[in-house]
Structure 1
Amino acid sequence: MELYLKVRLACAEGLSQRSAAKRFNVSRDTVRKMLSYSSPPGYRRQTTPARPKLGGFIATIDGWLDGDRGVPRKQHHTAKRVFDRLRQEHGFTGGYTIIKDYIREREQRSREMFVPLAHPAGDAQADFGEALVEIGGVTQKAHFFVLDLPHSDGCYVRAYPAAVAEAWVDGHVHAFAFFGAVPRSIVYDNDRCLVAKILPDGTRKRASLFSGFLSHYLIRDRYARPGKGNEKGNVEGLVGYCRRNFMVPIPKFETWEAFNLWLEEQCRKRQSDKLRGESETIGERLVRDLAAMQPLPASPFEACDQTSGRVSSQSLVRYKTNDYSVPVAWGHQEVWVRGYVDEVVIGCRSEVIARHPRCWQREEVIFQALHYLPLIEQKINALDQAAPLQGWQLPEAFETLRRLMEARMHKHGKREYVQVLRLLESFDIADLQAAVEHAVDLGAISFDAVKHLVLCRVERIPPRLDLDIYPFLPRAKVEKTIARAYLTLLSDGQKAA
């Protein structure tokens, strides 16, 4: 550039091109170019380079690359694979470089262009992401729901064990409660939890749960083209932001609820950030978003999957490959099932008969021991082998009570022990444990005694046990007082003196 400047200045002062070429030791053509352009124009190719060895194979290469559109991306032709196939199948004698250059230029010509989008206040985008977390000491994959408000960049994040339809809806319900308003429209991808089918005309047939959710909140749903995440690029970028900033290092929490409360706090803190190119913070722009959004309805939508089933002969109801127990009194009945993200509720007609924590494994059996105690009381020989009681952790006092009952009443003692366990249907475990420990201390080894003691504990009255009713209470023999018996004490006292 310095030489360029010197030549132009010398010629401007009257030096001829011939003299300038001689003085600066450059050709006259170079001097002429320097005078024609105020700055070096750089090299400019006038014609497309000729590739005589490649020309006859371009149609074949284009056919292979066009066919890649219908196969997974990881199985597309690379330049090396095209080169190998041309040599083996078509006798190509050219080099690898011209193949690589042609494919690169072809990709540049076919690369998609995008239109910048404007995001009015009150609209949203939603998506799910994945990251590793540690919940209760177990490292597992978390599926985190993200709702983004592109106008303000306000966000809400909530994590779940699985990205099922219930999690999609539950995430929206919590997000709306977090913002205190409902977006006018939301952009989604074509997840199967939301879209049951894409019809030939491009319209979507929505999943039933999702359709009910949209109707409840009066949201206008919009969808990106399949495989075109750029059409909801704000939330796609936010998913990556949350993974890098909220989940590095791997989060460690005791429960999902504790993790989600922490995520909500991170979303609130982010509202004080000022993003690149913006003069206002996220929170300041969020005010305009909230003003354009719809008010919350009177009650939130119930985010649950609903189905029906029948109670089996083992008092189990199957839901999503897993079996959940119900009380044996409802055996062989038709029931309804509601699957929430954190629990499974089972009912018959208008009555709820069982609640269980949601199991996200497959082909598991989830028992609740209390459901089977009435049947075990009738079939007492099944007590030791009953699967619902395996792994049931009871305080040590219960095992002590069982040993004493069986030692004193044999088989009838087992039945009375089950009757004691059935008191958990009505009383808290802490109250029953205290009553059992009290009964063991008194030696009142019977169901009636334990029931009396736990009732007295709950009602806060002193216990009054009748020895005639409870024959296993220890008895003490109390003699009548005889006055002359004290003379012995007196005589002994005089001798001692």
Structure 2
Amino acid sequence: MELYLKVRLACADGMSQRAAARHFNVSRDTVRKMLSYSAPPGYRRTAAVRRPKLEGFVSIIDGWLEGDRSVPRKQRHTAKRVYDRLRAEHGFTGGYTIIKDYIREREQRSREVFVPLAHAPGHAQADFGEALVEIGGVVQKAHYFMLDLPQSDACYVRAYPAAVAEAWMDGHVHAFAFFGALPLSILYDNDRCLVSKILPDGTRQRATLFSAFLSHYLIRDRYGRPGKGNDKGNVEGVVGFARRNFMVPMPRFATWDDFNLWLEEQCRGRQQAVLRGERETIGERLQRDLAAMQALPPAPFEACHQISGQVTSQALVRYRTNDYSVPARFGHQEVWIRGYVDEVVIGCRGEIIARHVRSYRREEVIFDPLHYLALIEQKPGALDLAAPLQGWDLPERFPVLRRLMEARMGQHGRREYIQVLRLLESFALADLHEAVKQAIAMGAISFDAVKHLVLCRLERRPARLDLTLYPYLPRARVETTSARSYLRLLWSRPGRWCRL
């Protein structure tokens, strides 16, 4: 630009173009162009680029690239593959560069252009994202639910071990509680947890649990085109924002609840931000969303998947490929099963009979040892081989109590030890452990003594294990034996003689 200015000033002072070209060591055509334009115009092409060697093969290349739309991305033609095929199959004599340039320009022309959208207050978009996290010392994939309000850009994030239907519903319930209101409508993709089938006319056949959710909250559902994430571009962008800002570095928490509480804090903190092109914070714009949204119903939706099942002969119930135990007395009975995101609840008629932490693995067997103690009491020989008791981490004094009981009472001692374990059906492990330690210290090795001690501990009264004052035994008077009483027994039947 400096040379441009010097040439123009020299010519303005009366220097000829020929003299200026000689003085500044540039061509006269360059001087003429400098005088014609006040700033360098850059290179200007007056005619389209012609590639004579390629023009006869353009239709062939276009046909190959159009056919690539129906095959996986990793099996599509590269510029090198197009060049090789043209040479081998069609006698192409040009170079590789013109092939590469044509394909690049063609891709640029075919890229989709999007229309900027304006969003009315009160509407939302929902989606799921994925990221690696460490929960309880185990690195695993977290599936995080995202609800975004596009008008204000306010969002809510909640993480789950899996993106199942219950997680979708539970994420909505927590998001509504976080904002304190219901959106007028929510835009979704066509996830299988929400849409079981797309009919030929484009309408969606909703999944059963999702239909119940919409009926409970009376929210209008909208859907993007299959495979077109840009239809809900706002929530897609916030999903990426959460991954880059909330998941880097890798989050490390003891439990999922701790992680989700931290995520809620991040969502609240983000409301103080002012985004590009806006003058208000996210929190200030959120007030317009909340003013347009609906009030929450009196009770939240119960986000669970409910089915019926039957207890097997081993007191197990199957749910999502995993087997969960129930008390043995319910064997072979019909039960109902509710799958929540964090637990599995099993009931029979109107009674809840079992609760388990939900497993997201496959073909696992989840036992509760207490469910089998009543059955093992009837079959004490199975105590050592019972699978539900394997790996049961009882305090160290329990095995000591068992050894003492079996040493003093043999087979009956094993049965009494099982009865002591059954006290866990009614008492906390910590209280029973203290009672066991106290019984061993006092030498009161029996089920009755342990039960008495744990009751005294809970009722905050002193233990009374002296037999003269034992509350559960009737008082008895024992007399000394006399010879007369013995003889009376010998002569009690007439006609019988006894030689003394």
TM-score by length of 2: 0.89
Q: Deviations over 1:421-450 (max 9, x none)?
A: 111111111221122222222222221222
Distance (Å, rounded) in 2 between the aligned partners of 1:19 and 1:242:
65
Q: Deviations over 1:333-381 (max 9, x none)?
A: 1111111110000111221111000001111100000001111111111
Correspondence for 2:117 = 117
1:17 deviates by: 6.2
Correspondence for 2:197 = 197
Q: Is 1:427 matched up with 2:427?
A: yes
Correspondence for 1:48 = 48
Between 78-87 and 413-422, the greater mean CA deviation after superposition: 78-87
1:396 deviates by: 1.5
Q: Deviations over 1:440-486 (max 9, x none)?
A: 2222222122222222222223333363899xx9xxxxxxxxxxxxx
Distance (Å, rounded) in 1 between the aligned partners of 2:442 and 2:313:
41
Distance (Å, rounded) in 2 between the aligned partners of 1:378 and 1:468:
33
**Structure 1: 5+ residue stretches without partners:** 474-497
Distance (Å, rounded) in 2 between the aligned partners of 1:125 and 1:356:
33
Distance (Å, rounded) in 2 between the aligned partners of 1:139 and 1:25:
68
Q: Deviations over 1:112-155 (max 9, x none)?
A: 11000011111111111111111111111111111111211111
Between 326-335 and 16-25, the greater mean CA deviation after superposition: 16-25
Correspondence for 1:310 = 310
Between 363-372 and 153-162, the greater mean CA deviation after superposition: 153-162
What secondary structure, in the 3-state scheme, does the structure 1 residue paired with 2:53 have?
coil
* 1:166 partner letter: E
What secondary structure, in the 3-state scheme, does the structure 2 residue paired with 1:133 have?
strand
Q: Deviations over 1:28-79 (max 9, x none)?
A: 6555544544433322222222222222222221111111212222322211
The 5-angstrom pairing of residues 9-408 of structure 1 reads 29-408=29-408
Distance (Å, rounded) in 2 between the aligned partners of 1:175 and 1:129:
16
Cα separation, partners in 2 of 1:466 and 1:20, compared to 1, 3 Å:
closer
Distance (Å, rounded) in 2 between the aligned partners of 1:30 and 1:246:
57
**Structure 2: 5+ residue stretches without partners:** 474-500
* 2:264 partner letter: E
1:261 deviates by: 0.7
Between 14-23 and 186-195, the greater mean CA deviation after superposition: 14-23
Distance (Å, rounded) in 2 between the aligned partners of 1:28 and 1:396:
102
What secondary structure, in the 3-state scheme, does the structure 1 residue paired with 2:126 have?
strand
What secondary structure, in the 3-state scheme, does the structure 1 residue paired with 2:234 have?
helix
1:5 deviates by: 4.0
Distance (Å, rounded) in 2 between the aligned partners of 1:398 and 1:416:
12
Q: Aligned residues: percent identity?
A: 79
Correspondence for 1:452 = 452
1:16 deviates by: 6.8
Distance (Å, rounded) in 1 between the aligned partners of 2:452 and 2:21:
119
Aligned pairs, number: 471
* 1:312 partner letter: T
1:161 deviates by: 0.7
Correspondence for 1:490 = none
What secondary structure, in the 3-state scheme, does the structure 1 residue paired with 2:167 have?
helix
Q: Deviations over 1:59-112 (max 9, x none)?
A: 221111111212222322211121122223333221111111111111111111
Distance (Å, rounded) in 1 between the aligned partners of 2:66 and 2:306:
45
Distance (Å, rounded) in 1 between the aligned partners of 2:29 and 2:246:
62
What secondary structure, in the 3-state scheme, does the structure 2 residue paired with 1:303 have?
coil
* 1:378 partner letter: Q
* 2:134 partner letter: E
Cα separation, partners in 2 of 1:443 and 1:197, compared to 1, 3 Å:
same
Distance (Å, rounded) in 2 between the aligned partners of 1:55 and 1:468:
115
Q: Deviations over 1:397-442 (max 9, x none)?
A: 2111111111111111111111111111111112211222222222
* 2:442 partner letter: L
Distance (Å, rounded) in 2 between the aligned partners of 1:167 and 1:267:
19
What secondary structure, in the 3-state scheme, does the structure 1 residue paired with 2:345 have?
strand
Distance (Å, rounded) in 1 between the aligned partners of 2:376 and 2:277:
70
* 1:321 partner letter: T
Correspondence for 1:441 = 441
TM-score by length of 1: 0.89
Cα separation, partners in 2 of 1:469 and 1:57, compared to 1, 3 Å:
farther
What secondary structure, in the 3-state scheme, does the structure 2 residue paired with 1:372 have?
helix
